[in-house]
Amino acid sequence: MKVLLVQAPSVESASSERVYPIGIVLLGTHLSRAGYQVALFDMNIEADAYGALKAKLLAEQPDVVGLSLRNIDPLANKTASLIPPFVVTVRMVRAVLPGTPIIAGGAGFSLFPERIMRELPEIRYGLKGEAEGSFPRLLEDLERPGKIPGLCYREHDRMVINPVVPDSSFEDYLVPDRDLLPPVLYRGINKYAPAFGVETKRGCPLRCAYCVYPQLQGKISRCRKPAEVVDEMEMLQARYGLRDFHFNDPVVNLPGGHLEEICEEILKRGLHLTWTGFFREDVMDPEKVRLYEKSGCSCFSFSPDGLCQSSLEVLQKNLKVSDILRVAELTAQTDAVVVYHFLTNVPGENAETIRQGKALIDQLYDIHALKKNLGAMVLNNIRIMPGTPIEAIARMQGEIDTDTDLLYPVYYNPQKHRTLRYELDTYQMTKNVFMWQGVEA
């Protein structure tokens, strides 16, 4: 049986920062090991995505097409949706290969499996959650698949979504076979973000009020063996010439000790590479920061989200403002770039929280003034995701109701401070530009 795995459009435009689609490559690796003939195709790197998809379908003539919907929209306050291009992709497959079963999955699909399958009868089956184990099992018998975890299917007039069970403990992680999708296609594709990701764990024990990572990956961290993570990085450098990586973890430095072992292994082997990731603030200390930088960390990304203590609390960050300032002091002494992500107009926003937010912005720029290594301060409104505490707050406050369609971009942004993001962005951007240009405000 031949299976074609397609990465559906997951960025807004060809000029967006794109990533190597490790999800379908890992899935393809599992399918190949199970004895299936596998081909992969990423629409995001094609100048004519649909024309190239049509040509690939005709050339491969697969027995099954798997479609991955990684993102439902580009976030970052944008109102663009990635659902329309996904719908077109599904319909293109059906039009070109009318009798070929379509199986959908991916993180974006997993947030709205019932809704997407109801609107797209062309999809034969869906797979919610991790599919490394469930997809090969499904292909064993498409007519009678049985009780496969995460399987989505139609039964008469109703949709059935089987309970999700994590496929992997990560103790026996199967390294993705990058030969299935040559990394050379992605070399130099981005201006800022590393295109190549490495998984060191899945799952997140944090309870941030807006986040869906615990829904998608579970609430318990499942970690790979540190030496095996570095084995993979060393192989990618030797075989493909890759040296810049992003750790795809929800939080790279939790649980404690795991990242440190990876860094020590990188140093022990004398590897010359760079890496980035999203860090948790309150577990950082001087020794860890030195270890991270020495082993190749080129960018510390933080997402404290709250610009003041009350915002941190409503967002359920379990952080203090002092944690943010302390980690700024630590990373301001490095040669790495530092990026902060914050959310604006959060529940409870008022004149005093806005004043405190500006004060925090001032403090962060003052701390980074000497090294000038504050690369960016990213300000967003909260994208309301289903099943999160922010959704419940928005419904209680009347910001959304039963008719609100969360499949498409909906942001928590009450009227009273609706333009606050622009005000704060102007405020911090002036500081950022002046810092890099050496101009006094």
Task: Please give the C-alpha separations between residue 248 and each of 19, 147, 277, 361, in angstroms, as whole numbers.
Answer: 11, 30, 7, 27
pLDDT tens digits for the chain (441 residues)?
A: 999 999 999 998 777 889 999 999 999 999 999 999 999 999 999 999 999 999 999 999 999 999 999 999 998 898 999 999 999 999 999 999 999 999 999 999 999 999 999 999 999 999 999 999 999 999 999 999 989 999 999 998 899 999 998 656 787 899 999 999 999 999 888 888 899 999 999 999 999 999 999 999 999 999 999 999 999 999 999 999 999 999 999 999 999 999 999 999 999 999 999 999 999 999 999 999 999 999 999 999 999 999 999 999 999 999 999 999 999 999 999 999 999 999 999 999 999 999 999 999 999 999 999 999 999 999 999 999 999 999 999 999 999 999 999 999 999 999 999 999 999 999 999 999 988 888 876
Q: How many CA atoms lie within 13 A of 103 on its CB side?
A: 23
CATH number at residue 72: 3.40.50.280
To the question of pTM greater than 0.75 for the whole model, the response is yes
Closest of 394, 393, 327, 391 to residue 363, by C-alpha: 327
Are 233 and 340 in a shared domain? yes
- Both tokens assigned to 108: 């974006």
Rounded to 10 degrees, the C-alpha dihedral 257/259/262/263 comes to -100
Rounded to 10 degrees, the C-alpha dihedral 356/358/361/367 comes to -70
Reduce the DSSP state of residue 342 to 3 states and report it: strand
Domain hosting 147: range is 2-161
Are 312 and 396 in a shared domain? yes
Q: Which residues have C-beta within 8 Å of that of residue 33, sequence separation ≥ 6?
A: 174
Q: Tally the domains of the chain.
A: 2
Are 129 and 11 in a shared domain? yes
Are 207 and 124 in a shared domain? no
Residue 270 in any domain: the answer is: yes
Residue 175 in any domain: the answer is: no
Are 387 and 260 in a shared domain? yes
Looking up tokens 């379509």, which residue turns up?
Answer: 102
Spatial contact of 38 and 180, defined as CB atoms under 8 Å apart: yes
Are 212 and 311 in a shared domain? yes
Reduce the DSSP state of residue 379 to 3 states and report it: strand
Sign of the C-alpha dihedral computed for residues 242, 244, 249 and 254 taken in this order: positive
